[in-house]
Amino acid sequence: MNAIDLLNAQQLTVDGLFAQADRAIRLDLKERLFVSIADALAIRATIEERIFYPHVLGEWTEEALRESLQEQFGIKRLIADLLELRATSPGFEEKLQILKEQAQHQARSEKSGLFPKVTEVVDDDQLRSIGHDMQSMMDALEGTDARYLVRGRSGALMRGLRTRKKQIA
What distance in Å separates the CA atoms of residue 87 and residue 107, rounded to the nearest whole number?
A: 25
Please give the C-alpha separations between residue 125 and each of 102, 116, 132, in angstroms, as whole numbers: 31, 16, 11
Distance CA 169, CA 162 (A): 11
Q: Please list the helix, strand and coil fractions of the chain in percent, rounded to the nearest 5, in that order.
A: 85, 0, 15
CB-based contact 7:48 (threshold 8 Å): yes
Q: Three-class SS of residue 95?
A: helix
- In the chain, the number of structural domains is 1
| Residues of the chain falling short of pLDDT 50 | 154-156, 158-160, 162-169
Contact present, 3 and 9 (Cβ < 8 Å): no
Q: pLDDT tens across 92-104, in order?
A: 999 999 999 999 9
Predicted pLDDT of residue 59: 85
pTM to 2 decimal places: 0.87
How many Cβ atoms from other residues are within 10 Å of residue 110's Cβ? 25
CA distances from 4 to 21, 94, 114 (A): 26, 30, 10
What is the pLDDT, as a whole number, of residue 39?
Answer: 96
**CB-based contacts of 86: which residues, under 8 Å, 6+ apart?**
31, 92
Domain residues for the domain of 96 are: 3-168
Q: State the average pLDDT for the chain.
A: 88
Q: Look at residue 165 in the predicted model and tell me its pLDDT.
A: 45
